[in-house]
Amino acid sequence: MSMFSITVPASTANLGPGFDSAGLALNLYLTLHVEKSEHWEFVHESVHLPPAPDASEHLIYKTAERTANLYHSTLPPCKVIMESDIPLARGLGSSASAIIAGIELANQLCELSLSIEEKLRIATDIEGHPDNVAASLYGGLVITSQLPNGDIEVFKKTDAELDFIVYIPVVELKTEDARKVLPEQFTRNEAAKASAVGNVMIAALVSGNYELAGKMMEEDLFHEPYRSSLIPNYSEIREEAKIAGAFGTVISGAGPTMISFTSKGKGQEVAAQLQNLLSSHQVSVLKMDSDGSSVNLDVNNFKAFGI
């Protein structure tokens, strides 16, 4: 008998030049059903999830324990039944969604009453960058910046008139590996050019000038030039999606999935054309998730368990 469930959306990060800053929540979900138990146990019920490791090795448990410890609290043992639509290590923010789920789990079990800002700060400490975790937590399009004092500023927008097409290859690419190919440093000239591209892209995206936003997405200088060789069919997907009518196509997060932005209602047509060319990719049309993570209490059961 479930006490509560936690739902967390997937996300796409960067949107081209918004490296480690821009994120957008997508309507694929990680769901946890949490039951009281004598000992910790995870049960994975999805083709996207590998067999569950020991609880002590589970990213969600480790995140929940770290969160509880931060507030000098102890997690009561639970059985967690997990379902997921989010493919792992494909650039759709699976680790960020798991981290948000772990924080929400500790927040409920230990009655921490964390604010959304506190959740974001813990999640960013664990993930290393705020883009995916902010999108999964807040929903919508988020533009984030972590300040030197650790505070994280978040701008959120939910009214983008867009469809999103994801091209998911069979192969995995760990974010950790895709970060290793990036330069440690940029010259002032390189940094100025790269941030100018990002500035115009964000201004265009937020103001609804999607033609310009798509054009600038494809001009990224922060990460795409270094990662493109790791991405199956990178140039072909960009070129064919443009011909089919997409505003722009970029690497989703650290890849290997790519994502196109099209006008609302155009997604299916573009996806159908690209799926014909990409027999080994899964091509899907997704929508923005506007709400971010949520917790649904089964009030009767929650009280009955005395938590």
Ligand X SMILES: Nc1ncnc2c1ncn2[C@@H]1O[C@H](COP(=O)(O)OP(=O)(O)O)[C@@H](O)[C@H]1O
Stretch that binds ligand LJ64HWYM, among 89-97, 117-125, 156-164, 236-244 (CB under 6 A): 89-97
Ramachandran region, residue 230 (left: φ > 0; alpha: ψ -120 to 50; beta: rest): alpha
Annotated binding residue 90? yes
- Tokens of residue 158, six digits: 């939910």
Q: Which does 84 bind (CB under 5 to 8 A by kind): ligand X, ligand LJ64HWYM, none?
A: ligand X
Virtual torsion, Cα 83, 154, 226, 126, nearest 10 deg:
-50
Verify binding: residue 20, ligand LJ64HWYM, rule CB under 6 A.
yes
Verify binding: residue 13, ligand LJ64HWYM, rule CB under 6 A.
yes
Verify binding: residue 98, ligand X, rule CB under 6 A.
yes
Q: Residue 53: phi, psi to the nearest 5?
A: -75, 175
Q: Which does 16 bind (CB under 5 to 8 A by kind): ligand LJ64HWYM, ligand X, none?
A: none
Longest distance between any two alpha carbons in the chain, whole Å: 62
Q: Residue 124: phi, psi to the nearest 5?
A: -70, -35
d(CA 208, CA 195): 20
Verify binding: residue 93, ligand X, rule CB under 6 A.
yes
Give the residue with the Cβ less far from ligand X, 29 or 138: 29
Annotated binding residue 248? no
Residues from 28 through 87 that contact ligand X (CB under 6 A): 30, 58-60, 84
Least separation in angstroms between residue 158's CB and ligand X is 22
Residues 6+ apart with CB under 8 A from 244: 269, 270, 273, 274
d(CA 176, CA 156): 27
d(CA 21, CA 17): 9
Give the residue with the Cβ less far from ligand X, 84 or 107: 84
- Tokens of residue 209, six digits: 């000038």
Interface with ligand LJ64HWYM by CB under 6 A: which residues?
A: 13-14, 19-20, 91-93, 95, 129, 131-132, 175, 179, 223, 253-254
Interface with ligand X by CB under 6 A: which residues?
A: 30, 58-60, 84, 88-96, 98, 174-175, 253
